[in-house]
Structure 1
Amino acid sequence: MAKGRYHHGDLRAALLDAAEGLVRERGADGWSLREASARVGVSPSAAYHHFASRDTLVRALSERVLSRLGDRLADACERAAGMTADPHRRLVALGRGYLRWAIEDPAVARLVFGAGATGPDSRVSPHPHDVLTAELDRLADLGALPAASRPGAEFVVWAPIHGLAVLLIDGLIRVDDARAFDLQAERVIRATLNGLCHEPAPSEDWPAVHSAHTDRSRSHLGQEGEQVGPGAGDLLRQGE
């Protein structure tokens, strides 16, 4: 590819854009940092000033995608506010937003679904997990989710909607149209919430479940002495 296409501006962002395009064309693993550099029109040595390796570029791209997803889910929740008196409407909108994102951009979704997509020092804001946690906290505050069911509920809700997304993008199940996507997402969310609202009290504490993001939040809380994101305090209490 001819050099000279990139003249000035934010080279880091341009490399991220190029990597994202390559992911959509070839998948998570079918490209190199050299190819991303060529697509922008700079030498690999120029790219190394911003990303020490392809893995570093992938991690930065994953962080950007997750931040974008967090914004999208938060917007979906806000747009659902006030539409009906249903206290679960916002969480249904979040589930629909997550599913549509995965279906619309499956290659990029697979990238961030992969292990190691983010690292111990990753900072994603707003993180999709924190958006989900805030919505569950809202339901608990409204009395629409029992307090006993709140600890760890974000993982209970995330598991089926994420599983549905993976089944759909892998072609293992199919639905007919966009409305069917929305209805299936709603059914999964409402069935999960119904289960949470009627689950029996455990004979002992529910197990503490972790993700890379919640471990980072817990670590930052311990180091800085303050809550980094919604739900970090709840996660610590689960582990006590």
Structure 2
Amino acid sequence: MTTTLITGANKGLGYETARRLLEAGHTVWIGARDSARGQKAADELGARFVQLDVTDDASVASAAATVSAQGGLDVLINNAGITGPQKDAADLTGDDALAVFSTNVLGVVRTMNAFLPILRSSENPTVVNVTSGLGSFEAVHDPSRVESQVIAPLYTSSKSAVTMLTVQYAKALPDVRINAADPGYTATDLNGNSGHQTVTEGTDAIVELALRGADGPTGTFIDRSGVAPY
């Protein structure tokens, strides 16, 4: 039985990913900051719940200890993310940046640090980092793509960092398969449900990476159509 932990999984892409992986036969941990919402989501889906705030070292360490004590982990999906404040670029502050990067980027580092020893006990250790085409240098310079029309300095740069973290971790940790997924423009709370894709479509790349076999590639960046532009 494959055991998967998804951060930020009480709603949106994380919730739908959990539903689909449970359907595929995984044991799934719902990781969420808010215990009431996380437990509710887990109960609805038939998953397990662990309180996990990716901005808090103690919370991440506690979650890792809980998961380790209850059988270990095969797949870590770093899904938790925030957009940050909706402000003019000139009004953004260091504190604004710290909040976004603490969740979107440092959260990945925290979970990798805490869960890597557990993952290494798996026969098929897998990490999926949920990034975004908005962090792709190629996509944001292509006027034919929706990413080129978005101005969100903190969110976009944080997702560029997540994609690079994926590549660097994959090079540094060849015993673990580590890849990044771009959900695409999906209707979730993150964008006021303005995306043109359903959450099922938005989780296609995430689920594909979570289900890849041990001989699958590492260090890649994909969307639901295939290899995504860097």
TM-score (norm 2): 0.29
Q: Which has the larger radius of gyration?
A: 1
More strand by share: 2
